[in-house]
Structure 1
Amino acid sequence: MQPPLDSQTLSVHIRRDPHSVYAFTAQPENFPRWATGLGKGLEQVDGEWFADTAQGRVRLRFSPANAFGVLDHYVYPAPGIEIYVPLRVIANGDGCDVVFTLFRQPDMDDASFAADADWVRRDLEALKQLLESR
């Protein structure tokens, strides 16, 4: 059994219908428009998704389409390493919240974890700006 990882839950409220937010964010092709951590673009090769990031080429696996707002995905930066990224669209009032849980990876120091959290906040704000301006 593995010990739990430290985590931080980050969210943004988007003044858009949750179904339209989910429909946009559920398309892997749209991730590069707001999720800068996944590099400048995604490429699907033989049914698998890949991104060129600052850390090199990574493989990704996205949750299948669903009616629950679940956008979880997995990042594989190297063989044998899997990073789970929980992401949700949750109805809230006249819009929705997009909720991202960031897990501190093993051997990640406080400064790196804080920098990752800041990066996620910027990406969530970019998603908000993108979708609210449509």
Structure 2
Amino acid sequence: MSLVTKYNNNNNLVDFKGLCKVRKDFVQLFEEACSKHPEDVRGVKRRNWSENFTERLFMALGRVLHFLKSYKDVKDMNDDTYDEEFQDLWEQLKSFGFDDLIWMENDVKKYMAKKMGKMWILKEKKENF
């Protein structure tokens, strides 16, 4: 069952579970995350936050989920840029009170493992020159 209930006028945003409007390109990420962790949606509903606050929270969550799903091409990683971007996104998400992020642990570990592998490859190439 899709979590999207209706389209917004500009067709870039959709209503998500009656909580807030979210970017269409984040919907699949939210559906996947919320199907595995429905307590997160219930928790947002219980807190009775404003729609504006909830939209910003879900935007931050969507950005982190998108980042973790899109880092797959290791050769394109610029070490400083990716580290700073991920750190900024993570801090934004935590600033909304999303403290229970343990369910993202595996994706974060995969990102870090790829990052460490990339750094090892670069170090070996540098030493061989």
Q: Normalization by structure 1: what TM-score?
A: 0.29
Higher fraction of strand: 1
Higher fraction of helix: 2
Larger radius of gyration: 2
Task: Say which structure, 1 or 2, has more relative contact order (CA 8 Å, 6+ apart).
Answer: 1
